[in-house]
């Protein structure tokens, strides 16, 4: 039995785009700016993809490496439609180590055969290259046909037919799932394709994309009947005022066209005016249309479609999640520059909420921080560094539910009164107990999980019923297919004859046309054989239109050029347009139109570089044909070309030639325009148009002077840029004579300053400048000081390119219009070194005393200057410093470092800086110590009535630290606070007067040194009982010393304090003497007598204070004396 089936094969049209050729073959670059900034560059390819011919089912990989500053962005495209990136179809990768950009087609299919293009783009340009992918098919592609059938069976008809009534409305009916998914895909973004397919169970992603491309094309054609332009398609969005909006920008061809809103295929009534009763509202502002759905509820979920004149222009799927607020956000009061926290708990897990601040959507930034808990139930918004402007209403939106609260920002009153900016606060306002929130979230999680388990059981039961129904449907479908196949048997007719001669069977087609193309089968006794009839119909052009197409098209720069040519042949026909051998694709300046039987190319904003061969190429399965034309873009010419050919340069004439411009802009040269400048002047003189010959003879010249010329080309399109010639001298050259020998003004190690006098013979022209040369002593070579193109304008120069310590000589030559003249006689030899200078310390304030804690490092740096370089010596107490001390010397500075200092490192360190001129020294005392240990037990005693004597055991550090002293503090029963009563005590005793009977006293003693204070030693509580009534008695007595003077040894420069206690009635007269000389009237000593406690204070002990000190007490009853000696450490004799 003879049977026939149709063979289908589809080929998509391709697109690529290039503007300018690169050094790499096959790469074109488009530069967006006229001049590139310094350091910037347009993108380019260092490795372009390689063409592949691969078997069907294999993996195809293209790799490319690009360069450019800034780093270009790489994208991929294909000539035949779009590349749809999906893990199962196609993936794009980038390897940071090898810098390779890769596109990988995991399983190659016949429809992947195409011309692919790679774009590298940055802000200064774009580079593009193309590469071909050829696919080898193995036999007849039954798999493709089978996949096509399966997709159509699964998804239903690939084009949804929305039948319109006469009034422009569609037939109202509930939409089937197959119709709904295509409505959603047609208006969805590419990034949502994978999610939608997974949601509706579409597994064949590749064929879905192919069908969707066809549907979008048909939809654009239908929309074009009613709409001029449509953009800004915003899917349904929920606001914080319990409303949802659908927004789109649309330019209607007929403003009176009616708009209709459908929900799940059923028309929804709406009003164009503000109305509280109507749920749906349309608001139009210019070309912007906004549909609003009020009082949102779960019943508002569904597929919303917007139609114009019965044609669907936009659809959006509105899903209402089953979520609500278990805990809503609360009002927050925050101080200025404090952080504020809003938080809420949901009834169902949600990846993210929509946060709004004063009706403006918020996102993560430095100002706002949005966080979500791991269970997706607790959502938080933190407002950083609150300012008064941040105050307002903040809202959280989850599905169709929303809640809002105020943020109140209170101004910082303290800062406002001072007129200063408030300080940043680290505290956070708002929020609550996190444990309570987590408990509520845990409870909501359990409720949500229980609901999900119930829904899962229902879904499993429905799945089992669905699988049983599909099995029955499959059996019925196979039976229907078998019956349909039997109905396609071929019978004899006027065009077909079937004959049989024994076992030989013949089928004859009398006149083959396109309808007979296809696959034929013959079956007999369960066996079959096949044959394929292909009716060839290659693409062709009409002869008359082809001749007109070949005529060149000439346009001006910035204008348009159009090319159009009809064709005929068997579809599908692949149409490609080329400019100068590079394939064109849709761009801002390139418009391609493919209509049935005709194709056109429109090039806009043309540039001169766009001139070239325009080619239209047609290809189908039976052949290829090309049509070629020329595009000529007229523009201003390029500048004339050098080098300049000087025919004559005499004292009265300059005659020269040049070459025509490289590109005349497609026009004939009308004139050359010349300007002339005399070298040394700033003005240019216009010579005028000289005709179309590239030569000029100038007779208006002065002998010996040099001239420069600017040349432009003039055509009907305008004037070119300037070509500037080199300097040309009229007549022979007259050089200047030699200047005077250079004179050395000053010499340093890095600069030698020179001066000279101009030459007496100038050559008849002005001196333009000078050239200076130098030579080292002992060398025969002279080296230039100034570059040849940067002459020295003045009569002096500072030479900085010298080596310290080397000896140099210099010579100079003058320059006039003719050039450089003879050199002068050399100067005297001079050393490159600084003038001699004695050492000097440069620090304005240098420390002479330093205290270092034991165990720490001691570091002292001193800066100085000297010439020549001095010798630096460090001493400790007059001897070389120990080995543990590190000395670091650099230019102009020296540093002493004592690592992990010990008490033994205490001493006077001296630095000596000396050179051949002089020497200078400086000393610093470094004292290494530590916090002192506390004194021993404290005792109190009343040696004199009304006074108390506090004594203590010395601190263990007293013997090791001569600067250690003591401080005494007191607290009595009338006050609870401690206060200091004596400080800088260098003995172990102190007498306190004015003791009040009946009060309890307590004393603390601290040891102190340069590092600080020790812990205190505390006395027992001490009390003088209240005085009893006494009988009158005679208390008169001669003077007597209760506490005598003690021996004192004090360091030089420190203070010394002497004291004693005297008894006597009447009160004795006290006299202090040093070496038997009275001190009572000496202002260098501070003498006091308080209740019998006599003291002498020497503020700064020196060698003149050494000697015997005596105190004499006298009254009417007698006389008493007490003496002691004072020695000053470091002084062996008194002054």
State pLDDT tens for residues 993-1004.
888 887 888 999
Report for 429-443, 494-508, 588-602: range of highest mean pLDDT: 588-602
Average pLDDT over residues 219-241: 76
Residue among 1044, 1046, 1037, 1059 at smallest CA distance from 1119? 1037
Q: What is the pLDDT of residue 470?
A: 63
Q: Residue 629 pLDDT more than 80?
A: yes
Q: What is the pLDDT of residue 785?
A: 93
CA distance 252 to 224: 9
Cβ(1114)–Cβ(1063) below 8 Å: no
Cβ(249)–Cβ(256) below 8 Å: no
Average pLDDT over residues 929-943: 89
Confidence of residue 194 (pLDDT cuts 50, 70, 90): confident
Q: Residue 603 pLDDT more than 50?
A: yes
Could you tell me which residue, 88 or 428, shows the higher pLDDT?
A: 428
CA distance 1083 to 1076: 17
Q: Residue 1110 pLDDT more than 90?
A: yes
Average pLDDT over residues 937-964: 87
Average pLDDT over residues 1075-1095: 89
Q: Report strand pairing: 849-853 vs 428-430.
A: unpaired
Q: What is the pLDDT of residue 1131?
A: 56
Average pLDDT over residues 371-376: 89
Confidence of residue 628 (pLDDT cuts 50, 70, 90): very high
Judged by average pLDDT, the poorest of 92-106, 187-201, 743-757 is: 187-201
Which whole-number Å values give the CA distances from 117 to 179, 582, 855, in the listed order?
A: 35, 12, 71
Taking only Cα atoms into account, the Rg of the chain, rounded to an integer number of angstroms, comes to: 53
Q: What is the pLDDT of residue 521?
A: 82
502, two tokens: 């024994």
Cβ(696)–Cβ(674) below 8 Å: yes
Average pLDDT over residues 153-158: 40
* Mean pLDDT for the chain overall: 83
Judged by average pLDDT, the poorest of 58-72, 279-293, 475-489 is: 475-489
Q: Residue 1133 pLDDT more than 50?
A: no
> Peptide bond before 466: cis, by omega within 30 degrees of 0?
no
191, two tokens: 């990034």
Q: What is the pLDDT of residue 248?
A: 82
Q: Which residue has the tokens 């039997």?
A: 486
Q: Residue 1032 pLDDT more than 60?
A: yes
Confidence of residue 208 (pLDDT cuts 50, 70, 90): confident
Full strand arrangement of the beta sheet holding 1107-1115: 1048-1051, 1118-1129, 1107-1115, 1069-1074, 1077-1078
Q: Which residue has the tokens 């003039």?
A: 714
Average pLDDT over residues 168-185: 68
For 877, phi then psi, to 5°, come to 50, 40
Q: What is the pLDDT of residue 711?
A: 93
Strand partners, 614: 579, 629
Query: What pLDDT digit, counting tens, does each position of 784-798 carry?
Result: 999 988 999 999 999
The DSSP symbol for 475 reads H
Kindly list the structural domains of the chain, giving each domain's residue range(s) and its CATH number in brackets, ordered by start: 4-140 (2.60.40.10), 168-318 (2.60.40.10), 325-414+423-448 (2.60.40.10), 494-533 (no CATH), 543-627 (2.60.40.10), 641-729 (2.60.40.10), 743-831 (2.60.40.10), 837-929 (2.60.40.10), 1034-1135 (2.60.40.10)
Confidence of residue 492 (pLDDT cuts 50, 70, 90): confident
Q: In sequence order, what E strands does 936-1076 have? A: 938-941, 948-952, 965-972, 979-985, 989-992, 1000-1009, 1012-1013, 1017-1018, 1022-1023, 1037-1043, 1048-1051, 1056-1065, 1069-1074
CA distance 192 to 456: 25
For 555, phi then psi, to 5°, come to -140, 160
Could you tell me which residue, 1029 or 257, shows the higher pLDDT?
A: 257
Query: What pLDDT digit, counting tens, does each position of 870-929 carry?
Result: 999 999 999 999 999 999 999 889 999 999 998 889 999 999 999 888 999 999 999 888
Could you tell me which residue, 878 or 233, shows the higher pLDDT?
A: 878
Q: Which residue has the tokens 């000589």?
A: 809
Give the length of the chain. 1135
Q: Which residue has the tokens 């996949």?
A: 147
92, two tokens: 């794009």
Q: What angle do CA 612, 618, 623 make, to 5 degrees?
A: 130
Q: What is the pLDDT of residue 256?
A: 77
DSSP state letters, 138-177: -SS-HHHHHHHHHHHHHH--SS----B-TTSPBPP-PPPH
CA distance 239 to 1130: 90
CA distance 841 to 848: 14
Average pLDDT over residues 1075-1080: 90
Average pLDDT over residues 607-616: 91
> How many helices (H) and strands (E) are present in the chain, helices listed first?
7, 84
Query: What pLDDT digit, counting tens, does each position of 294-325 carry?
Result: 877 777 788 888 888 777 888 888 777 888 89
Q: Residue 474 pLDDT more than 60?
A: no
What percent of the chain is modeled with pLDDT above 90?
32
Q: What is the number of other CB atoms lying within 10 angstroms of the CB of residue 649?
A: 17
Confidence (pTM): 0.32
Could you tell me which residue, 405 or 22, shows the higher pLDDT?
A: 405
Query: What pLDDT digit, counting tens, does each position of 156-174 carry?
Result: 433 333 444 545 556 555 6
CA atoms lying within 13 Å on the CB side of residue 187: 26
Q: Which residue has the tokens 């799945």?
A: 463
């Amino acid at each position: 039995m003879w049977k026939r089936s149709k063979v289908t094969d589809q080929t998509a049209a391709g697109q690529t785009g290039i503007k300018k050729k690169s050094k790499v073959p096959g790469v074109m670059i488009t530069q967006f700016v006229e001049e590139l900034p310094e350091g910037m560059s347009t993108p380019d390819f260092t490795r372009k993809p390689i063409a592949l011919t691969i078997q069907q089912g294999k993996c195809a990989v293209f790799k490319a490496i690009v360069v450019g500053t800034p780093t270009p962005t790489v994208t991929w495209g294909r000539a035949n439609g779009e590349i749809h990136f999906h893990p199962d179809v196609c993936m794009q990768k980038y390897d940071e180590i090898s810098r390779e950009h890769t596109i990988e087609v995991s399983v190659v299919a016949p429809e992947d055969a195409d011309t692919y293009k790679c774009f590298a783009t940055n802000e200064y340009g774009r580079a593009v290259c193309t590469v071909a992918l050829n696919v080898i098919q193995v036999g007849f592609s039954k798999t493709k046909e089978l996949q096509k059938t399966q997709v159509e069976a699964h998804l239903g008809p690939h084009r949804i037919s929305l039948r319109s009534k006469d009034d422009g409305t569609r037939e109202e009916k509930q939409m089937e799932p197959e119709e709904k998914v295509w409505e959603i895909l047609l208006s969805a973004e590419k990034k949502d394709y994978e999610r939608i397919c997974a949601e509706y169970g579409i597994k064949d992603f590749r064929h879905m994309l192919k069908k969707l491309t066809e549907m979008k094309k048909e939809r654009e054609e239908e929309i074009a009947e009613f709409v001029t332009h449509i953009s800004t398609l915003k899917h349904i969005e929920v606001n914080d005022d319990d409303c949802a909006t659908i927004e789109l920008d649309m330019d209607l061809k007929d403003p009176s066209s009616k708009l209709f809103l459908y929900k799940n295929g059923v028309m929804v009534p709406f009003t164009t005016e503000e109305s509280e009763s109507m749920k749906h509202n349309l608001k139009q502002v210019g070309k912007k249309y906004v549909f609003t759905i009020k009082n949102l509820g779960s019943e508002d979920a569904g597929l919303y479609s917007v139609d114009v004149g019965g044609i669907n222009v936009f659809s959006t799927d509105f899903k209402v999640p089953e979520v609500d607020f278990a805990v809503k956000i609360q009002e927050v009061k925050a101080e200025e520059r404090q952080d504020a926290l809003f938080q809420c708990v949901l009834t169902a897990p949600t990846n993210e909420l929509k946060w709004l601040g004063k009706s403006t959507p918020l996102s993560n930034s430095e100002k706002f921080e949005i966080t979500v808990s791991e269970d997706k139930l607790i959502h938080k918004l933190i407002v950083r560094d609150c300012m008064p402007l941040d105050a307002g209403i903040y809202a959280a939106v989850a599905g169709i539910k929303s809640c809002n609260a105020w943020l109140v920002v209170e101004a910082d009153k303290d800062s406002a009164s001072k007129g200063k900016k408030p300080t940043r606060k680290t505290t956070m306002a708002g929020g609550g107990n996190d444990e309570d929130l987590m408990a509520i979230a845990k409870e909501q999680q359990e409720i949500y999980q229980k609901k999900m388990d119930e829904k899962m059981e229902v879904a499993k039961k429905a799945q089992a019923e669905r699988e049983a129904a599909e099995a029955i449907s499959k059996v019925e479908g196979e039976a229907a297919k078998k019956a349909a196949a039997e109905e396609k048997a071929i019978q004899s007719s006027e065009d077909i004859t079937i004959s049989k001669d024994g076992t030989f069977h013949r089928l004859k087609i009398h006149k083959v046309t396109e309808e007979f193309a296809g696959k034929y089968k013959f079956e007999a006794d369960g066996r079959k054989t096949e044959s394929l009839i292909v009716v060839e119909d290659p693409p062709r052009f009409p002869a008359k239109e082809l001749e007109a197409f070949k005529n060149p098209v000439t346009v001006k720069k910035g204008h348009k050029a159009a090319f159009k040519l009809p064709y005929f042949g068997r579809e599908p026909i692949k149409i490609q347009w080329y400019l100068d051998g590079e394939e064109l694709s849709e761009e801002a300046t390139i418009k391609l139109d493919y209509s049935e039987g005709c194709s056109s190319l429109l090039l806009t904003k043309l540039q001169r570089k766009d001139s070239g061969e325009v080619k239209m190429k047609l290809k189908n399965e039976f052949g290829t044909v090309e049509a070629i034309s020329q595009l000529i873009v007229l523009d201003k010419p390029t500048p004339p070309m050098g080098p300049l050919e000087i025919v004559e340069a005499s004292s009265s004439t300059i005659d020269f030639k040049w070459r025509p411009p490289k590109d005349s802009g497609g026009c004939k040269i009308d004139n050359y325009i010349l300007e002339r400048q005399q070298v040394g002047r700033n003005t240019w003189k216009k010579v005028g148009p000289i005709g179309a010959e590239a030569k000029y003879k100038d007779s208006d010249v002065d002998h010996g002077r040099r001239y420069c010329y600017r040349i432009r080309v003039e055509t009907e399109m305008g004037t070119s840029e300037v070509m500037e010639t080199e300097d040309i001298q009229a007549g022979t050259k007259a050089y200047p004579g030699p200047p005077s020998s250079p004179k050395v003004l000053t010499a340093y190690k890095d600069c030698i300053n020179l001066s000279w006098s101009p030459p007496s013979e100038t050559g008849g022209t002005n001196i333009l400048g000078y050239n200076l040369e130098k030579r080292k002593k002992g060398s025969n070579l002279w080296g230039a000081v100034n570059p040849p193109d940067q002459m020295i304008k003045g009569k002096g120069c500072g030479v900085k390119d010298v080596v310290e310590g080397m000896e140099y000589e210099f010579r100079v030559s003058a320059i006039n219009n003719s050039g450089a003249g003879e050199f002068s006689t050399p100067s005297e030899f001079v050393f490159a070194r600084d003038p001699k200078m004695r050492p000097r310390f440069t620090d304005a304030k240098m420390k002479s005393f330093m205290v270092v804690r034991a165990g720490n490092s001691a570091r002292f740096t001193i800066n100085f200057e000297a010439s020549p370089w001095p010798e630096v010596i460090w001493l400790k107490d007059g001897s070389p410093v120990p080995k543990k001390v590190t000395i670091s010397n650099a230019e102009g500075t020296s540093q002493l470092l004592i690592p992990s200092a010990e008490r033994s490192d205490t001493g006077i360190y001296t630095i000596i800086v000396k050179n051949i001129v002089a020497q200078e020294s400086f000393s610093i005392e470094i004292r290494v110590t530590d916090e002192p240990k506390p004194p021993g037990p404290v005792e109190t005693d009343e040696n004199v009535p009304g006074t108390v004597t506090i004594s203590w055991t010395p601190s263990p550090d007293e013997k090791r630290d001569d600067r250690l002293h003591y401080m005494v503090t007191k607290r009595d029963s009338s006050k609870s606070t401690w206060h200091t009563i004596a400080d800088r005590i260098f003995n172990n005793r102190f007498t306190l007067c004015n003791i009040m009977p009946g009060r309890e006293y307590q004393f603390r003693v601290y040891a102190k040194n340069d590092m600080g204070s020790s812990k205190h030693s505390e006395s027992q509580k001490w009390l003088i009982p209240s005085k009893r009534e006494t009988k009158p008695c005679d208390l008169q007595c001669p003077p007597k010393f209760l506490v005598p003077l003690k021996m004192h040894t004090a360091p030089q420069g420190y203070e010394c304090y002497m004291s004693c206690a005297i008894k006597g009635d009447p009160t004795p007269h006290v006299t202090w003497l040093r070496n038997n000389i009275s001190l009572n009237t000496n202002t260098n000593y501070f003498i006091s007598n308080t209740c019998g406690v006599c003291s002498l204070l020497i503020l700064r002990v020196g060698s003149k204070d050494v000697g015997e000190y005596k105190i004499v007490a006298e009254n009417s009853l007698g006389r008493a004396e007490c003496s002691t000696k004072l020695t000053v450490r470091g002084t062996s004799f008194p002054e």
